Amino acid sequence: MRYCSLGSGSRGNATLIEYGTTRLLVDCGFSLRATEQRLARAGLSAHQLTAILVTHEHSDHISGVERLAQRYSLPVYMTAGTRHGMGSTDLPVRLIRFGEDIDIGDIRVTPVPVPHDAREPSQFIFDSGYHRLGVLTDTGSITPLITEMYSELDALLLEANYDPHMLASGPYPRFLQARVGGALGHLSNQQAAGLLASMDTRRLQQVVIAHISEKNNRPELARQAVSSALDGWSGQLQLAAQNQGLPWQEITETTQPTIACIGSR
């Protein structure tokens, strides 16, 4: 399994996951043209995509979904709440239900409910049968379910959106500071670090810091906080940027099938 970011931040988000002949695009917060350009930079055409999964209806995650799906006849998966939050659209949607895994090609997708100020937001875990990749952004707080579901991963793309001191002294008005820093907002550097500190990281090969705020954070602050929770860890820590994204990252195959897929492949 491999994955890359086409861009991550408040001006647009899109993540690619690939295993076998299956290529999934998580969110599409860029224009059609920009998405095609970013896909080309990753060595792909939109014709090669299998499906689009949508985490929630905020514009930095959905602004390009409808045009991309219609242009290339791609199925789109999202929750009923996200579909309602998108408003008027002719886009045919395949509904996601929490508690039910989805098999899309060679990848099993587990939707995870998260606290965020959207109608029915979801994040995802991707399982090839030999790899487990977690994507966790746009989450205001870490719930016990998140801690449970995001255990025993091989790779994790994790939001570290803001530094609390920068948010409090930054340009955002008070109401927006409260929204970002609230229980339905985004994860701070320290919250991201707290999740990692609570995890068993012996299997974890890679951590990618994502959705870093350009106004309320700095990459070095996010990296420092996350690194402090990974003391003694021998894996790879990287950042997904707004403009450059992150190049393809390969997850090394484990020697045993993942528990979730034993007997199901």
Question: How is the chain split into domains, by residue range?
Answer: 2-241
Tally the C-alpha atoms within 13 A of residue 158's C-alpha that lie toward its C-beta.
Answer: 32
Per-residue pLDDT of 236-259, as tens digits, reads 999 999 999 999 999 997 656 665
State yes or no: pLDDT of 41 exceeds 50. yes
Please calculate the CA angle 105-145-79 and round it to the nearest 5 degrees: 50
Question: CATH: 3.40.30.10, 3.90.1560.10, 3.60.15.10, 3.90.1150.10. Which one for 2-241?
Answer: 3.60.15.10
The model carries a pTM of 0.94
pLDDT of residue 89: 84
% of the chain residues with pLDDT over 70 = 95
pLDDT of residue 259: 52
Per-residue pLDDT of 67-94, as tens digits, reads 999 999 999 999 999 999 998 888 889 9
154 confidence band (pLDDT: 50, 70, 90): very high
User: DSSP labels for the chain?
Assistant: -EEEEEE-STT--EEEEEETTEEEEE---S-HHHHHHHHHHTT--GGG--EEE-----HHHHTTHHHHHHHHT--EEEEHHHHHHH-S----EEEE-TT--EEETTEEEEEEE---SSSS-EEEEEE-SS-EEEEE-S-SS--HHHHHHT-S-SEEEEE--B-HHHHHHSSS-HHHHHHHHSTTS--BHHHHHHHHHHS--SS--EEEEE---SSS--HHHHHHHHHHTTTT--SEEEE-BTTTBEEEEEPPPPSS--GGGTTT-
Range 174-202 average pLDDT: 97
pLDDT of residue 249: 98
Per-residue pLDDT of 112-145, as tens digits, reads 999 999 999 999 999 999 999 999 999 999 999 9
pLDDT of residue 257: 63
State yes or no: pLDDT of 263 exceeds 50. no
pLDDT of residue 264: 42
Mean pLDDT of the chain: 95
- The helix/strand/coil state of 102 is strand
State yes or no: pLDDT of 176 exceeds 90. yes
Range 215-220 average pLDDT: 98
State yes or no: pLDDT of 265 exceeds 50. no
State yes or no: pLDDT of 262 exceeds 60. no
